[in-house]
Amino acid sequence: SQRTLVILKPDAVRRNLIGEIIGRIERKAGWRISALELRELSREVLEQHYGEHVGKPFYEPLVEFMSSGPVVVLAVEGERVVEGVRALAGPTDPIAAGPGSIRGDFGTIVRENLIHASDSEESAEREFKLFFPGAE
Ligand code: GTP
Ligand code: MG
């Protein structure tokens, strides 16, 4: 089975949506949360996490936002969980995301789109090591 790295972004924590979002992930058959922590992210960690976006116009405001308050970082394991959590999250732009998805149900602003989920198994392993160094 697979593992993915999920971040509930500062807007999700501020708006008290942690339980709502984790509940949707937890209710998927056979998936389980294998690591979970509330923490603040440093610019250094964010630069590694969002390395592919360094230099893009939205990069600086994205890092500002992602370091504006605590986030919840979690690892989820299970069958097709990488693709699966991306499907639960919906497209990057919450207005384009359909109802029933996390971003579609709760978001309006592209930057403040509530949740990050790894986009491939390779990203998931890199991100897991970045956010949970020393674990397993
Ligand atoms: P993540 O799971 O957070 O990585 O989202 P994603 O994979 O759906 O999107 P992507 O990796 O392309 O972009 C990372 C984050 O940057 C997005 O989730 C948005 O918060 C933000 N972002 C991406 N594209 C834009 C954009 O065109 N404008 C703005 N303002 N923000 C963007
Ligand atoms: Mg991404």
Among the listed residues 104, 106, 32, the one whose alpha carbon sits nearest the alpha carbon of residue 74: 32
Of the residues 56, 59, 62, which should be mutated to test ligand 1's pocket, given the most ligand atoms within 8 Å of the CB? 62
Please write the tens of the pLDDT for every residue from 16-55: 999 999 999 999 999 999 999 999 999 999 999 999 999 9
How does pLDDT run across 62-115, given as a tens digit for each residue? 999 999 999 999 999 999 999 999 999 999 999 999 999 999 999 999 999 999
> Beta-carbon neighbour count of residue 67 at 10 Å?
15
In angstroms, what is the span from residue 110 Cα to ligand 1's centroid?
7
Q: How far is CA 110 from CA 26, 48, 73, in A?
A: 25, 21, 20
For the domain made up of 2-118, give the CATH fold: Alpha-Beta Plaits (3.30.70)
Tell me the ipTM for this assembly: 0.92
Closest listed residue to residue 10, CA positions, set 136, 109, 127: 109
CA 101 to chain centre: 14
| Residues with catalytic function | 116
Domain boundaries, the chain: 2-118
Cα–ligand 1 centroid distance for 4 (angstroms): 17
105 backbone φψ class: left, alpha, beta (φ>0; ψ -120 to 50): alpha
Distance from Cα 59 to the centre of ligand 1, integer Å: 9
Report the pocket of ligand 1 as residue ranges, CB < 6 Å.
58, 62, 92, 110-111, 113, 116-117, 119
